[in-house]
């Protein structure tokens, strides 16, 4: 079966711009969660969506937002980009959002210049 698909794979943006990242979960998975990975902070949880509703949120500023569509595809948006937002953004899908069975995508590498 197809895995978790994230697009684009690479992105270069200028400070102050905004960016939208996309995640298509495994078919049938209704939970999509997003993570930011940087060398300094490691993997950090951003938020989780289930059936188009945000159910859980990490400790990130309001510039980071997301949404989920009726087909479970999810988008993440970062507004007013800062240099420190440069990171690998990963999404993970699962059936319910708890238990085991999280499948991660390959991520979007965002570089802010």
Q: How far apart are the first and last CA of the chain?
A: 37
Nearest distance from C-beta of residue 78 to other proteins, angstroms = 18
Interface positions, 19-78, toward other proteins (CB under 8 A): 31-33, 35, 42-43, 45, 47-50, 55-56, 58
Candidate list 17, 63, 98, 113; residue touching other proteins; CB under 8 A: 98
Class of residue 65 by CB neighbours under 10 A (exposed 0-12, middle 13-18, buried 19+): middle
In angstroms, the Cα distances linking 3 to 27, 29, 33, 46 are: 8, 11, 15, 21
Candidate list 13, 67, 73, 109; residue touching other proteins; CB under 8 A: 109
Strand partners, 41: none
- Which residues form the interface with other proteins (CB under 8 A)? 4, 31-33, 35, 42-43, 45, 47-50, 55-56, 58, 88, 90, 92, 94, 96-107, 109
């Amino acid at each position: 079966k197809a895995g978790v698909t994230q697009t684009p794979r690479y992105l270069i943006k200028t400070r102050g711009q905004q960016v939208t990242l996309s995640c298509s979960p495994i078919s049938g998975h209704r939970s999509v969660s997003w993570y930011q990975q940087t060398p300094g902070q490691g993997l950090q949880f951003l938020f989780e969506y289930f059936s188009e509703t945000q159910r859980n949120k990490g400790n990130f500023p309001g510039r980071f937002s997301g949404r989920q569509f009726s087909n479970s595809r999810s988008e993440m948006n970062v507004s007013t980009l800062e240099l420190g937002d440069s990171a690998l953004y990963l999404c993970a899908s699962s059936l319910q959002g708890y238990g085991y069975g999280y499948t991660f995508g390959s991520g979007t590498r965002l570089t802010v210049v």
